[in-house]
Each structure stands twice: as structure tokens, then as C-alpha cells.
Structure 1
Amino acid sequence: MSEVKTLTAADVAGHTTRGDIWVSVHGKVYNVTNFLEEHPGGEEVLLDEAGKDATEAFEDVGHSDEARELLKTFYVADLKVDPNAPKKAPASKKPIVSGSVEKHSSWFRIVLPIAVLGGWLAYRAYQQTARH
């Protein structure tokens, strides 16, 4: 039986470039470099989380079961817990958030539906004028 490979947060922090992006989620380390251009939330989201514990950002977005299965394909190692590291306080739910993932999510939730609706209305108007 093979031993599970473990990496430290410092190991993960060394992978923050566009050509080498690692993140940790729920105590596991993932190399998401090859998923950068395919990420539905945009590459900026992954670049912002590169080299960090992205658990909170991952959960805040509410990824699907399919996304969770896909994440497993990028597995590198387990994250070694540093017993001397300060404990992270539980995140409070704030009505106004300022993180980049939340900014992207807010933008998509507001602008994207408006753009889609505007495009659909323009298309319908075009169809109406083309028929007459």
C-alpha cells in the first residue's frame, strides 16, 4: 500500500504563476493549471486563489457535484496541517463582501442576466422588423 503524499501550505504557495497554479480545498492540494482556460467562472478566479487555501471561495460559489468530481482529477496530495499555525476563525456571513471571487460572482449575477435579456430583446426586435 502506498503512502499518501503530503505537502505544506508553503509548498502550495510556490505555485502561483499562470503556468503553474495549485490550490488547496478541504485539506487536499490540486493542480488546476490545465483547467485555467476552461473554468466557467473565468481564469481570474483561479489566479486570485493560486497558492492559497481556496476552500471558502470554492464553497461560497456553490459548485455542483460534477465540479466536485472534476476537482478530484486535479489531485496532487493531501495538505499537511501545521499544528503551530494559528487557527482560522470561522468566516462570518457578511452582507457586503470585498473579495475578488465575490466581486466576479456579483458581477455575473447582475450584469450577465441583464446582458442576456438585452440580447434576447434585441433579437426579438430584429425578428419583428425582418418579418415586416
Structure 2
Amino acid sequence: MGKVFTLAEISEHNNKKDCWLLINGKVYDVTKFLDDHPGGDDVLLTATGKDATDDFEDVGHSSSARSMMDEFFVGEIDSTTIPSKTQNNPPPRQTQADQDKSSDFVIKLLQFLVPLLILGLAFGVRSYTKSSA
């Protein structure tokens, strides 16, 4: 086990010359890896100053990428310094599946309403022309 850091201490390491990440309760100094990261250094730099576990897991890193992490390990987090997720994290983003479901609903609704609207207009025009004559 390495040294124990607070989130405030970890957050100070947030640039290209000194970059630390917090993933799964462990602290990693990834400064030397910034230039080699396949996703670019910006991806790592934007994950500083917070618990980057979700960001890391969302990408689906390979087992070899996970084993590389050992060489960057510098310590652990004092878990009492991590804010609760419900207070400080934004609501979850809408997933593509959720967006597809919403789009499907709108399309089905329009497929039902548009023909009714056309039918209603046709009867309205017909009734109007009969009453005008």
C-alpha cells in the first residue's frame, strides 16, 4: 500500500507536467504516459481533480491497459475526502438507446397523427366548400 492522499492533494496534479488520476480508489501519476495514451493527453487531463473511475470504466480498457496501471501507482485515496456522487455529479447523460427510444416514440406518434390531420383537413375543406355553394 502506498501513501494516502486527499482529493484536494490529488487535484493539484492537473497539468501536462504533473498529472494524477484517481481510479477505483487508487492514485496514479500518469504524467509520463500522457504522450503515449492512445486517446490523447486531453482525455487524461480532463479526468483530473475528480474520481475518474466511471470515465475509465466507460471506455472499456483492455486487460493489458489495466496491468500497465501498476507502474503508475503512487497511493490511495482518503475516501472521506470524496464528495458523494448524488450531491456533486450531474445527472447521467441520456444514452443512445434512450435517445433511440424517444425518437421511435415521436415517429410512431407522427405516423398516427399526420394521417388524422390530413383526413380532418380534407373533411373540413369538403364541408366548407359544400356550405359555401
Q: TM-score range by the shorter chain?
A: 0.5 to 0.7
| Runs of 4+, deviation exceeding 2 Å | 89-94
* Amino acid paired to 2:9: D
Q: Which of 9, 12, 17 lines up with 2:10 in the alignment?
A: 12
In the alignment, the residues of structure 2 paired with residue 11 and residue 59 of structure 1 have an alpha-carbon distance, to the nearest angstrom, of 23
| Equivalent pairs, count | 93
Note the C-alpha offset of 1:87.
Answer: 2.3
CA radius of gyration, larger in: 2
The structure-2 alpha-carbon separation of the partners of 1:17 and 1:32, relative to structure 1 and needing over 3 Å to count, comes to same
Q: Conserved in 2, the CA contact under 8 Å of 1:28 and 1:79?
A: yes
Of 16-25 and 3-12, the range deviating more from structure 2: 3-12
Long gaps (5+) in structure 1: 97-132
Note the C-alpha offset of 1:4.
Answer: 4.0
Q: Tell me the SS of whatever aligns to 1:23.
A: strand
Long gaps (5+) in structure 2: 97-133
In the alignment, the residues of structure 2 paired with residue 69 and residue 9 of structure 1 have an alpha-carbon distance, to the nearest angstrom, of 24
**In proportion to residue count, which structure has more helix?**
2
Q: Conserved in 1, the CA contact under 8 Å of 2:2 and 2:74?
A: no
Percent of aligned pairs with the same amino acid: 42
Q: TM-score, normalised by structure 2?
A: 0.63
Note the C-alpha offset of 1:86.
Answer: 4.2
Once the two structures are superposed, residues 52-83 of structure 1 have per-residue CA deviations (whole angstroms, 9 ceiling, x without a partner) of: 21101000000000011001110000111117
Q: Conserved in 1, the CA contact under 8 Å of 2:20 and 2:30?
A: yes
